[in-house]
Amino acid sequence: MQNIKMIKRDKSVVTGKKNLKKLYTFKKFPVFFGCVDTPAKDDLLTDMSWAIDRETGVIQLDKLIPLEILYKEQHVDGTGPTWAKYYEDFAKYLMSQKPKSVLEIGGGAGKLAQICLDRSKKLTWMIVEPNPIIKRTDRLKVVDGFFETANVLSTNYDCISFSQLLEHIYDPMSFLESISKSMNNDSKFVFAYPNLEYWLSHKFTNALNFEHTMFLTDTLLDWMIKMAGMKIVNKSFYKNHSVFYSVVKSPNFVKIGTPPKKYAKYKKYFEEYVDYHKKTVLSFNRQMKKYDSVYLFGAHIFSQYLINFGLDMKRILGILDNSPLKQGRRLYGTDYIIESPEILRGKKDCAVILKVGIYRDEIYKQIKTINPNLDVIE
């Protein structure tokens, strides 16, 4: 484990009070969740330390990875039908607000922007993204960098948007307040946030990590939006995946009220999540002994968590993923070069470990189509 100068976060991300209680620490966890071309000896691992706010129940990392390490390169490209459908549906939700000019924070590969721009020839779009893999056009401008340092809030726009971003922000209240201050009475704030309460309560392995730095549920987020000087016009639950929000500036704003108190409930969620994964990995280790070939699906946090919980990697022949960004490259924190699921075709006495949250059904169907005879361990 190498020495990393961590960022201390000793105050509640909801209230700003020093009211945190240590909850659990994952030892020697990889700090990057993607795939790389560098040697394994260069990988950084450090403790992932979780604490809980005694008042609200928000669970959060109390030590944060510096952004330039955590987001060293782009590792998300929205591969697969679940993501494709999500982007189409969120684009429809956003465009129903009739924006003319959009500022998108953290646009990733630019998929949301492209869908919306295709639907309106008059729409203009600006993306602020530290690792853009986006084709720029006359109507799609890109600012390379983090939002906090990009100085773009003075730009003319009538809609601020982001998708799956707020859970990554280190100081969400300050972030929401800066957005609120930049808005005028006619602008809108439209965003999508993961349904973290569903994810954690259903033991989804990717719910919390060095990037998802807090278990900030929509219940707590609703209160924070109000405290930041904004008003929720519409809140729509999208399957078990996300929550879509449409927000405007709140007239006659007064900062009053106490936050929801969810300490006992959220503490139980987390403790059950850890206990479940410890037992699940023990079960996986027993089941793997039955097969000549065992593969692990997911070159991402899914696999890194299972490995950290004690998955017997001596029995894992390879790690699989559908993303072109990952295939042929090494999963950070491991020695495995990522392969396409096509490698499963025709194999006998073979099993795949599948623990991939909301993507389970699409990947299960895919790998069983490639090889109907393989077993799925889950």
pLDDT in tens, 341-377: 999 999 999 999 999 999 999 999 999 999 999 999 9
What is d(CA 225, CA 214) in angstroms, rounded to the nearest whole number?
A: 16
pLDDT in the model for residue 183: 87
Please say if the pLDDT value at position 131 is more than 80.
Answer: no
Q: Is the pLDDT of residue 73 over 80?
A: no
pLDDT band at 138 (very low <50, low <70, confident <90, very high): confident
284: left (phi over 0), alpha (psi -120 to 50) or beta: alpha
- Band of pLDDT at residue 88, cut at 50, 70 and 90: very high
Q: Does position 130 have pLDDT exceeding 90, yes or no?
A: no
124 vs 101: CA distance, rounded Å: 5
Average pLDDT, the chain: 92
Q: What is the mean pLDDT of residues 67-85?
A: 75
Fill in the amino acid letter for 49: S
C-alpha pair distances (Å), 311 with each of 48, 52, 231: 18, 27, 46
When pLDDT is cut at 50, 70 and 90, the band that residue 76 belongs to is: low
Q: Per the confidence metrics, is the pTM higher than 0.85? A: yes
pLDDT in tens, 243-291: 999 999 988 777 778 999 999 999 999 999 999 999 999 999 999 999 9
1 band by pLDDT with thresholds 50, 70 and 90: very low
Taken in order 138, 143, 148, 149, the sign of the CA dihedral is negative
Rounded mean pLDDT, 129-149: 79
CA distance 87 to 167: 18
Q: What is the pLDDT of residue 72?
A: 72
Closest Cα partner for 5 from 63, 82, 59? 63
Write down the CATH number for the domain with range 264-377: 3.40.50.720
Question: Which residues make Cβ contacts (< 8 Å) with residue 361, sequence separation at least 6?
Answer: none
CA dihedral 98, 99, 100, 106 (to 10 degrees): -150
Reference 177, options 61, 255, 257; nearest CA is 255
Quick one: pLDDT at residue 2?
58
Q: Looking at 138-262, list the stretches that DSSP marks H as alpha helix, in order from N- to C-terminal side.
A: 147-150, 172-182, 196-201, 218-227
What are the tens digits of pLDDT across the range 34-45?
Answer: 899 999 999 999
pLDDT of residue 150 exceeding 70: no
pLDDT the model gives residue 116: 97
Task: Please give the residue that has the higher pLDDT: either 318 or 74.
Answer: 318
Region 11-40: mean pLDDT is: 96
Provide the percentage of residues in the chain whose pLDDT is more than 90: 80
The average pLDDT across 62-85 equals: 79
Instruction: Give the residue with greater pLDDT, 242 vs 67.
Output: 242
- With tokens 């990995």, the residue in question is 281
Homologous superfamily in CATH for domain 81-259: Vaccinia Virus protein VP39 (3.40.50.150)
Statement: residue 31 has pLDDT above 80: yes
Rounded Cα distance between 164 and 129, Å, is 13
Establish whether domains 81-259 and 264-377 are of one fold.
yes
Give the model's pLDDT for residue 85.
94
Instruction: Sketch the domain layout of the chain as residue ranges.
Output: 81-259, 264-377
Alpha-carbon gap, residue 135 to 165, rounded angstroms:
21
Instruction: Identify the weakest region by mean pLDDT among 107-111, 178-182, 364-368.
Output: 107-111
As a whole number of angstroms, the distance between CA 60 and CA 20 comes to 9
Residues 116, 161: Cα–Cα separation, whole Å: 12
What is the pLDDT at residue 151? 61
d(CA 280, CA 273): 10
